[in-house]
Amino acid sequence: MASGIFAVLDDIAALMDDVAVASKIATRKTAGILGDDLAVNAEKATGFLASREIPVLWAITKGSFINKLIIVPLALLLNAFFPVIIKYILLVGGAYLAYEGAEKIIHYIFHKPKKGAEVIQEQALEGEAAEKAKIKSAVTTDFILSVEIVIIALGTVLDRSLTVQILTVSVVAILATVGVYGIVALIVRMDDAGHSLIKRSNDTGFRAKLGHLLVKLLPIVIKALGFIGTIALLLVAGGIFAHNLDFFHHLLPQVPAMLKEFGIGVVVGLVVFLLVEGVKLVFGLGKKKAH
């Protein structure tokens, strides 16, 4: 009886060891996309009133967990019974990310930034609706990025048993959500940490200087994340097309991969943006918002 229990424990330990090794490899493979995920979601989780930052971030984090609960079993099932569809799901997601990136660039170039009273008035008019819209956008983007993270993680353990596949992909999915949104939470609360340091040190000494630095750095970090997040969207989108379509994969082989993927993301994003705007124009969509 005791020997049987020890045998089971030994099997569990061996399985956990396999999962730990596989998870380490999968995490390393997904490191790039996790970095992009962090940049994109940090940018999307900022820009709210201080009192709403953590509730909004928690709402996005819950949405991310729900995304993973949907994606992980679906990816495993599709990989087992209909693997060809995964490529097309990735391409549709890539087109959406490229569209988001191109839209941000076009908005930055052609729209005059709002100032002072305009921003206050817009926030007062939109309020909760605007917050829900940003949360929805963030969760949608997280869904697409999560699909790629899960697919890449799954690709590293295709030669392993189904149990190892399930556990490895689940571990990577959980680490992705906890790690990314944990860091985002630290970023959005930088100014609060700074104010706390200033208050505790009576605005004197090293801690006070550090507090002032954190307060001053937050708007710079947010602007930087906006820029990096847009670049990341286009890079991820371009990478999806370059890795899944032979035409893009073999296009301009002399150009560095990162530059080529960024260019593909921009071109695809502009094409999708023009198509979307064309559909809106034909069907008169978006005009109702203005009234």
At 135-180, the pLDDT tens digits run 888 888 888 888 878 887 887 777 777 888 888 888 888 888 888 8
Asked if residue 154 is part of any domain, the answer here is yes
In which band, very low, low, confident or very high, does the pLDDT at 264 lie, cut at 50, 70 and 90? very high
Q: What is the pLDDT of residues 70-121, one digit of tens each?
A: 999 998 898 888 888 888 888 888 898 889 889 888 988 887 655 544 444 4
Cα 48 from Cα 60, distance rounded (Å) = 13
Average pLDDT for the chain: 78
- Identify which has the larger pLDDT, 186 or 2: 186
- In which domain, by residue range, is 109 found? 20-190+222-290
- Cβ atoms 174, 30 nearer than 8 A: no
Asked if residue 197 is part of any domain, the answer here is no
Q: How many domains does the chain have?
A: 1
Asked if residue 47 is part of any domain, the answer here is yes
Distance of CA 254 to the CA centre of its chain: 30
Distance of CA 220 to the CA centre of its chain: 20
- Identify which has the larger pLDDT, 39 or 291: 39
Asked if residue 73 is part of any domain, the answer here is yes
CA 137 → CA 40, 63, 118, 132, 231, distances in Å? Answer: 11, 11, 23, 9, 17
Nearest C-alpha neighbor of 26 from the set 196, 181, 205, 159 = 159
Cα 242 from Cα 263, distance rounded (Å) = 11
- Taking the model in full, what pTM does it have? 0.69
Asked if residue 84 is part of any domain, the answer here is yes
Residue with tokens 């706390």: 196
Asked if residue 60 is part of any domain, the answer here is yes
Asked if residue 257 is part of any domain, the answer here is yes
Structure tokens at 49: 């009133």
Asked if residue 233 is part of any domain, the answer here is yes
